[in-house]
Structure 1
Amino acid sequence: MRTTIDVDGRPRTYTVIANRDSSQPRDLVLVFHGSRQDAEAHRKFTGHSFDALAENGEAVVAYLDGHKGNWNDARKESYFPARIEDVDDVGFTRAVIRQLTATHRIAPDHVFAVGYSNGGQMVLRLVHEIPDLLAGAAVLSAPMPAPDNLLLPPATPKYTPLPVLLMHGTQDRVVPYRGGAMAAWARRLFKVGGSTLSAPETAQYFARRNGISSASQVSRLPRRNGASGKTWVEQTDYREAGHPPVRLLTVHGAGHTIPGPRRAPFILGRTNQDISAATVIAEFFGITVPARSRP
């Protein structure tokens, strides 16, 4: 169901996937699309895999629409319309949470944000600006902006430790896994600038913020029968008793893509199908996953 909501006089839209009503408070998964997408395009891009999280009625999935295909994200050097017009995407997120909490029986402490690329950068902004409204964040193909490129509010709120799950392909030609500046063609095409940390540095950044001092644990995830052998997934966990965990999934050989049932266009690079991002995210945050959606 597509819904329109007014945010400071600007109509904003989002699509809600909810299988049925529930007498019990439910999880809410907010999904933020990538550049030049909208909610419907992102649903197709991910093979509707996040829709499945709403099948059992215990979760509600909301795909938010950016302004003219983008989010006013965490990078100072972005210069697409959402940034130039200073669109209040943080206010939009607040409004969606508030509305769905009232209409869909959302548990206030069970709101999770998931973002890909520009949408991932938007989630990074939310983590720094409204951490009190989130129970966890999943960021795909979007490492932390470097300190001099990080957009923070004038009065940064006290940090609330959150579980964080990161995913990134090592052969990402759009947003480099190793950090630094995007290629010149990508900066022009997507209207962004500045540098980012590497994916491992981003994981270390959140581990420190969560107060984790223990060494990380690294493992290799098993292959799925019939999947291509050109990509594989390495899992790095930062865990310590009493602190929210941080996990980095390094997708070796994959591009600017989301692991799951649908392969991205060839120009974005290889898509890993050993895992489903939606399923991995749900399991990490403790959201019930329907059996048929598992890889």
Structure 2
Amino acid sequence: MRQHLIATQNGTDLLLYFHGSQQSARVARRFTNRSFEHIQATVVYPEGVHRHWNDSRKTLPERTRELGTDDVSYIQDLIAHIPHERVFAAGYSNGAQMIIRLLHDAPGLLAGAALIAGTMPTPENFLSTAQGWIPTPILTMHGTEDPIAPFDGGSAGSRGAHRSFTDSNLYFVQHNGLMPKPRHTRRQGFDVYDWAGEAPVQAWVLNGVGHHVPTTRPVASPFLGPASTHFVAAEAIAQFFGLGFSLDGAGGQTR
């Protein structure tokens, strides 16, 4: 039986946080310093099969792909059983790739999506299609020093080829029907690009950061590369989604 962890119930909107490869709901909470639980929403951590999501990359040598896990239907069913007004999703790495699948295979399911350390697969490495795409607000974040999912695109090892961070954002901009020239600002020491519209795209270039979800207490790991200690990704994501962000948190329960 699939499990999910309800961490907070602080609002009428639902925020799903999708963990990365080899993680679980509890690991994801520690990895993000529980920062997403400060967002004023019902925050839920779903769990992938064998600690992975069956995302839309053709190259995914994991047990969940071998099993043919239908994670799109699982998420749709999970959402149907949790009271909500709107559904937002944030995901890291393999979790970001799962959100990319939801945007393509279940268009309109999400009111907003945040992708951290996960870029679009190249066309030859992509299982889904943009047929039926529904413009959706999308925020992206990616470290320039990411050793696992290269910022400039190319091979991500056993996960196949990916577009660059720049090309991934242009893909979302095009499909959301936005003008190609963004507004550039500097926030928290990072370059931020905004494409305005009914379904905006916002891209954070995390200069000098590796394969991390930025928090003030990042997990130290040479495998993931350098981390930022002055920026909380969850707060920027909450602001983009139009959700409140409070320092008051709550416990969680697994179901």
**TM-score normalised by L of structure 2:** 0.92
Selected match of 1:247 from 197, 202, 206? 202
Q: Which has the higher contact order (CA 8 A, sep 6+)?
A: 2
Indicate yes or no: 2:100 matched with 1:114. Answer: no
Alignment RMSD, CA only? 1.6
Q: Deviations 1:184-243 (Å, cap 9, x if unpaired)?
A: xxx3xxxx3321100111111100101112411111114xxxxxxxxx411011114xx3
Which consecutive residues of structure 1, in runs of 5 or more, have no partner in the other structure?
Answer: 1-10, 223-231
Residue 220 (str. 1) matches residue 186 (str. 2)? yes
Letter in 2 for 1:38: S
Deviation at 1:19, TM superposition (A): 4.0
State which of 40, 61, 70 in structure 1 corresponds to 2:52: 70
Q: What SS class does the counterpart of residue 234 from structure 1 fall into? A: strand
Task: Quote the residue 1:274 is aligned against.
Answer: 230
Aligned to 1:149: 125
For the residues of structure 2 that align with 1:261 and 1:272, how far apart are their CA atoms? 7
- 1:16 aligned residue: 6
1:194 aligns with 2:155: no
- Shift in Å at residue 292 of structure 1? 6.2
Higher Cα Rg: structure 1 or 2? 1
CA deviation after TM superposition for structure 1 residue 261, in Å: 2.1
Is the CA contact (8 Å cut-off) linking 2:220 and 2:227 kept in structure 1?
no
> What secondary structure does 1:29 align onto?
strand
Determine the C-alpha separation between the residues in 1 that align with 2:109 and 2:202.
Answer: 21
Q: Is the CA contact (8 Å cut-off) linking 1:171 and 1:253 kept in structure 2?
A: yes
Aligned to 1:30: 16
Deviation per CA, 1:133-191, whole angstroms, max 9, x where unpaired?
110110000000001111117xx651110000000000000110000102xxxx3xxxx
1:92 counterpart = 2:82: no
Matched residues in 2 for 1:220 and 1:292: separation? 28
- TM-score by structure 1 length? 0.80
Question: Structure 2: where are the runs of 5+ without partners?
Answer: 250-255
Is residue 51 of structure 1 aligned with residue 71 of structure 2?
Answer: no
Question: Quick one: which amino acid aligns to residue 236 of structure 1?
Answer: Y
> Larger deviation: 208-217 or 64-73?
208-217
